């Protein structure tokens, strides 16, 4: 029903004060009748047809793609600006990098053994390294946005949430990881992550070896599907921090996209206003 009303309103709104010939007016009415019929059976319309009809042809795929790219670039700028602060990761529970497994599974024991300060320093060093690396990734992210081809732009426009960010994430993660890892490694060295990581391993390794020797315990844990909770080998710390850094930036971009799609205050360009202001609620 809402779609039908929308078509009628657009039909009336499309008739300006200019004088039309009877034939012109007749053509317009016939066109809107066809649109009306389609809206009564929206399943017969593709997302592209629906968008073009709802916007009276104002929204092209090129315009939607351009708006998506603008939204993503704005998201990148906001993400690296927020995360790039000294404690941009540490002070944000949504993106803070936690103690990695298997140490996270042994944290209580390690703290009881006097390793609390060392754990805190290690966590802080990881998050500080990510915060220092984030601004350096901005250009890489923006270049990836520029290279994107949003073949499903019309479909994404009709979706809720942050579909452009999700699409961006699916198509760029692998390449971004290769480019960003060296930046993370450099900042890990600057923030003494390796120093604290080695110290953590020295405390944790004897505990892990003890668990490994407890064959009966491990067999029982596997029987009861608890083996995943038993500390195994340490993670690749460079990959761990890189993945979390990329995830954090994607998360912040997604949050920005949601705001742009739903809040006119954040639609700061003419393209954003044309695209998201017309279609989104």
Predicted confidence pLDDT, tens digits, the chain (281 residues): 444 444 444 444 444 444 445 566 555 555 554 554 444 444 444 444 444 444 444 578 888 899 999 999 999 999 999 999 999 999 999 999 999 988 888 888 888 888 889 999 999 999 999 999 999 999 999 999 999 888 778 788 888 889 999 999 988 898 999 999 999 999 999 999 999 999 888 877 766 555 444 445 445 445 545 444 444 456 799 999 999 999 999 999 999 999 999 999 999 999 999 888 865 44
Cis check for the bond before 102: say yes or no (omega within 30 of 0).
Answer: yes
Does residue 184 contact residue 238 with C-beta atoms inside 8 Å? yes
* 127 touches 97 (CB < 8 A): yes
Give CA 232 to chain center in angstroms.
Answer: 30
Helix (H, G, I), strand (E, B) or coil at 64: helix
* Cβ 127 vs Cβ 87: under 8 Å: yes
The token duo for 116 is: 């609390």
- For residues 54 and 5, the answer to whether their CB atoms sit within 8 Å is no
Q: Where are the alpha helices (DSSP H) in the chain?
A: 2-14, 22-40, 47-54, 61-83, 107-110, 116-133, 138-147, 153-157, 163-190, 193-213, 215-223, 237-262, 270-279
Indicate the pTM of the whole model.
Answer: 0.73
């Amino acid at each position: 029903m809402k779609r039908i009303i929308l078509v009628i309103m657009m039909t009336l709104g499309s008739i300006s004060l200019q004088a039309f010939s009877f034939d012109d007016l007749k053509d317009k009415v016939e066109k809107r009748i066809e649109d009306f019929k389609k809206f009564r059976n929206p399943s017969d319309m593709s997302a592209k047809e629906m968008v073009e009809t709802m916007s009276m042809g104002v929204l092209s795929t090129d315009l939607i793609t351009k708006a998506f790219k603008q939204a993503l670039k704005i998201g990148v700028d906001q993400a690296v600006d927020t995360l790039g602060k000294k404690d941009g990761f540490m002070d944000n529970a949504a993106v803070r990098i936690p103690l990695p497994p298997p140490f996270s599974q042994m944290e209580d024991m390690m703290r009881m053994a006097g390793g609390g300060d060392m754990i805190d320093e290690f966590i802080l060093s990881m998050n500080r390294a990510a915060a220092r690396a984030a601004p350096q990734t901005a250009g890489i992210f923006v270049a990836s946005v520029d290279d994107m081809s949003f073949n499903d732009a019309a479909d994404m426009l009709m979706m809720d949430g942050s579909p452009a960010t999700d699409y961006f994430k699916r198509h760029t993660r692998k390449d971004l990881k290769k480019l960003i890892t060296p930046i993370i490694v450099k900042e890990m060295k600057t923030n003494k992550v390796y120093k604290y990581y080695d110290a953590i391993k020295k405390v944790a390794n004897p505990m892990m070896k003890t668990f490994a020797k407890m064959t009966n315990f491990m067999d029982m844990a596997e029987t009861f599907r608890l083996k995943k909770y038993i500390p195994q080998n340490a993670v690749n710390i460079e990959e761990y921090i890189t993945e979390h850094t990329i995830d954090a930036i994607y998360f912040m971009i997604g949050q920005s996209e949601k705001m742009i799609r739903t809040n006119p205050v954040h639609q700061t360009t003419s393209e954003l206003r044309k695209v998201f202001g017309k279609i989104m609620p």
